[in-house]
Structure 1
Amino acid sequence: MSKDSVDMLGSLEEQQAAIDGSGGGDSDVTYFRATVHQCWLRDLDATLLAEACEEGTEIAYDGLDCDEDSYELAGLWAVTDQPGDAQRPAELVDEGACVTPADLLDAATREFKAMPIDPAQIALHAERDWAIVNFGVHPRTDDTPQMLDTTLLGVPVQIRAVPAEYTWDPGDGTEAVVTDHPGGPWDTPTAIHLPYPAPGTYSVTLTTTWHGQFRITGTPTWTDVPGQATTTDTTYPIEVHDAEVRLVQP
């Protein structure tokens, strides 16, 4: 890799690609990250940016001061191999940066699209394979977000899928029920009722819509990711019967 190529590593994507590709192919340049120190030269009225302050110098600066929602990305250094296995001293390519969520949004969007999300599972109030016409069933599910810890462009991040909408299809041709909550027990205000007005054998299908968020690991603020994902879950067949009314002598 030429000196001109080294100087062109401006974006985080280009820098991470260079680190990931170090030591492979025909490249004679190895990249790594290390905190950039600013060393005060005792004998001179000057400072020097270095990987480490050597004997005879004092540290005048040892990193960036980033806010609580940012990440201090250490400086990028390059070491160029020379003939005979010799190496040049490490060369500073980039002094590092306070990486913000905005810098990672595109990468986080791609990661969320590829994130494996387990379907939200349907639970019935009574776990049985039958129901009564018009009494029907009361399904519910869990609304726990799903988390993924990963690294984007050299920055540790957490990505989460948050359930935002639930579509309950009773499977009998009647209109699906759409909620923004996961349901609840049959005798609570959040209960979901699928009445089944006619006898037959049906299965409930739940389609869950998930929204994505991410944050830099250890920071407090979650940032929304564009787009959404869906998952589905289906119950076993449920036989819906007419209720038989009988007169019983006391």
Structure 2
Amino acid sequence: MISVVLAAGLVLAGVPSGEDTWGSDAEATGEIIRTNLWEAERERRTREKDQPDPEKRLAEYLRSAYCARAGEESGSGAVLPCGDVPADDDLPECDDAGVLEPLLRRTRATPATPWGPWYVLSDWACAGDLVPAFTAADFRELPLAPPALHVQPARGQVLVHMPTIVYSDDAVQTLETELLGYRFEVQATPSSYRWDFGDGETVTTRTPGRPYPAKDVAHAYRSTGTQRVTLTVTWTGRYRVAGAAGWQDVDGTATTTASTPDFTVVERRSRLVTGTCDDEPDAAGC
């Protein structure tokens, strides 16, 4: 995609530095008002959010091709919305997202007074440039929930030298977040699972394992003691502006970590008994 270089800065003669120029009578001074794509769109979204009732707004916005408007009554730089599109050589070269029409603005002093003339707030640009990139840093800031971590047997004790089964799930998480005024839908998908069994042994898998009788992810402890399993899941993501059709991949990954409660690795020896554990629940091995 080839970016468009737009006029930088907002040119408003006679307006003190630091004052809010939105809805001011700057247009009446006859100055040409142009700012960059981001600032223009942020202004529009902010103003329309602050005043949702169009009848009460002091600034109105329109995306349209424009024609120069001559005459002292309109002021220098005023324009009219029109259908005159520049030649292709004068338009930015954009990808499949297409070309974005200029954003025009006009203002009025009060809801009861007439609208002033239209001015160009931002010029022709690529539609794809309007949407901010959703970065790996943004992805890592999302409140991803660690998937559930299960251990079998699940009674707080496991047997030494016997397989201890662990498993999780591969559920996709869908979240929404806001970035620079845009609502984003984000889908996070587990891509790998790193199992730390607490005794120095680790294993990384592409799948989350399954419960007994499957033994996809299992570990035999070689000594007794207290242990815990820690699972670190690596997530890949994709995103889109809420309601849009196309998804884009996040350029990076995120991780979540979860641990089991402590459990005890024990040793059990077989013994001959005269009855069952139902008959003698306190007998050795019951």
Residues 160 and 81 of structure 1: CA distance in aligned 2, closer, same or farther (over 3 Å)? same
Residues 136 and 222 of structure 1: CA distance in aligned 2, closer, same or farther (over 3 Å)? same
Taking the aligned partners of 1:215 and 1:184, their CA distance within structure 2 comes to 32
Find out whether 1:177 has 2:203 as its counterpart: yes
TM-score normalized by the length of structure 1: 0.68
Find out whether 1:143 has 2:170 as its counterpart: yes
For residues 67-91 of structure 1, give each alpha carbon's deviation from its aligned partner in whole angstroms, at most 9, with x where no partner exists: xx84997752323455997641343
Q: 1:98 offset after TM fit, Å?
A: 6.1
Q: 1:144 offset after TM fit, Å?
A: 1.4
Residues 201 and 150 of structure 1: CA distance in aligned 2, closer, same or farther (over 3 Å)? closer
Find out whether 1:226 has 2:235 as its counterpart: no
Find out whether 1:114 has 2:123 as its counterpart: no
Taking the aligned partners of 2:32 and 2:219, their CA distance within structure 1 comes to 63
Find out whether 1:196 has 2:221 as its counterpart: yes
Q: 1:199 offset after TM fit, Å?
A: 0.9
TM-score normalized by the length of structure 2: 0.60
**Contact 2:102 2:121 (8 Å CA) reproduced:** yes
Residues 247 and 200 of structure 1: CA distance in aligned 2, closer, same or farther (over 3 Å)? same
Find out whether 1:238 has 2:266 as its counterpart: no
For residues 136-167 of structure 1, give each alpha carbon's deviation from its aligned partner in whole angstroms, at most 9, with x where no partner exists: 42111121122223454555432122211111
Taking the aligned partners of 1:20 and 1:32, their CA distance within structure 2 comes to 11
Taking the aligned partners of 1:91 and 1:78, their CA distance within structure 2 comes to 5
Taking the aligned partners of 1:15 and 1:183, their CA distance within structure 2 comes to 50
Residues 30 and 74 of structure 1: CA distance in aligned 2, closer, same or farther (over 3 Å)? farther
Count of aligned residue pairs for this structure pair: 220
Counterpart pick for 1:17 among 42, 50, 54: 42
Q: Which residue identity lines up with residue 187 of structure 1 in the other structure?
A: P
**Contact 1:124 1:137 (8 Å CA) reproduced:** yes
Taking the aligned partners of 1:139 and 1:32, their CA distance within structure 2 comes to 59
Find out whether 1:133 has 2:142 as its counterpart: no
Q: 1:38 offset after TM fit, Å?
A: 8.1
Q: 1:215 offset after TM fit, Å?
A: 2.4
Instruction: State how 1:2-151 maps to structure 2 within 5 Å.
Output: 2-3=11-12, 6-7=33-34, 9-11=35-37, 13-19=38-44, 22=47, 33-36=61-64, 50=81, 70=97, 76-81=103-108, 87-94=115-122, 99-100=127-128, 104=131, 106-151=133-178
Aligned CA RMSD, in angstroms, stands at 4.0
For 1:106, what is the secondary structure of its paired residue?
Answer: coil
**Contact 1:33 1:74 (8 Å CA) reproduced:** no
Question: Which residue of 2 is the match for residue 64 of structure 1?
Answer: none
For 1:17, what is the secondary structure of its paired residue?
Answer: helix
Q: Which residue identity lines up with residue 119 of structure 1 in the other structure?
A: P
Amino-acid identity (%): 28
Unaligned runs of 5+ in 2: 1-9, 13-30, 51-56, 68-78, 86-95, 276-286
Q: Which residue identity lines up with residue 214 of structure 1 in the other structure?
A: Y
